[in-house]
Amino acid sequence: MTGWTGPPPLGVVVDLDDTLYPQADYLASAATAVGAEAQRAGLDGAAVTAALRQELAAGSDTGGTIDRALLAVGVPAADLPGYVPALVAAFTAHTPARLTPYPGAEDALRALAAAAPLACLTDGHPRIQAAKLAATGLEPLLPVVVVSDAVGGRPARKPHPAGLLAVAARLGLPPDRLLVIGDRPGKDVAVAAAVGARAIRVRQGEYASAPDEPPAWAVTDSFPAAAALALGVLGAVPAR
């Protein structure tokens, strides 16, 4: 981390998955929902659940995880079209009862909300992301939520700047005066850089070991620590 130079940020934008709560918890429950649907379709539901969890653990941001899970449990490739649509629908419709935020995340969000305009920018299916956020119980602290897929589909996902530009417009702030907090350098840090803003990377979750490329203004090991840094610069005096 280097000292903050230039005008301070005017607003804070936070990521959702693996920034405010551990996404592995959602993926595990969603895999169980898919397994239950597979069982209803005449497959071994427990085996499908286990195979899907393994696929998701290998990379949750890749497509075709349900297809690969079915192949792993012995479903012939020719039979996939008869199973996959219903299982994808089960995944998409899954509504977790509760997703526990990381320790201190709620208090940290509350402090940020009291200090500056606050928003959430997240990638993913809008229905899924809404269900996740509701399950965390953090939604009341995030007055502005933008799901990039609702802005322009998968091509608009971070690091594409469309979602962050939409956040800036909703907040009524210049995009380069936002401070982004997120766990993924290639998405959260990169999208900030794309609009001339800065970011704090939180090293936790699935991408905790990813290299710091592109580099963030600061790197922390928890969201509360990132929020504390953000609070420190929100009142920073512009460099002369």
The reply to whether 151 and 79 lie within a common domain is no
Same domain, 223 and 138: yes
Q: Does residue 3 belong to any structural domain of this protein? A: no
pLDDT, average across residues 36-51? 98
Residue 114 has pLDDT above 50, yes or no: yes
pLDDT in tens, 144-157: 999 999 999 999 99
Whole domain around residue 120: which residue ranges? 11-22+100-234
Q: Are residues 115 and 212 in the same domain?
A: yes
Work out whether strand 178-182 and strand 218-220 pair parallel, antiparallel, or are unpaired: unpaired
Domain endpoint, select from 46, 64, 93 = 93
Q: Please give the tally of structural domains in the chain.
A: 2
- CA 183, CA 201: separation in Å to the nearest integer? 5
Mean pLDDT of the chain: 95
**Residue 159 preceded by cis peptide, ω within 30:** yes
Half-sphere exposure in the Cβ direction for 116 (13 Å, CA):
26
* pLDDT tens digits for range 1-27: 558 899 999 999 999 999 999 999 999
**pLDDT value at 207 more than 80:** yes
Statement: the pTM of the whole predicted model exceeds 0.85: yes
CA dist., res. 199 & res. 127, Å (int): 27
* 105 and 178 share one domain: yes
- Please tell me the distance from the alpha carbon of residue 38 to that of residue 86, in angstroms, as a whole number: 8
Kindly state whether residues 108 and 127 are assigned to the same domain. yes
> What integer pLDDT is reported at residue 240 of this predicted model?
29
What CATH number does the domain containing 127 carry?
3.40.50.1000
How far is 192 from 190, CA to CA, in rounded Å? Answer: 5
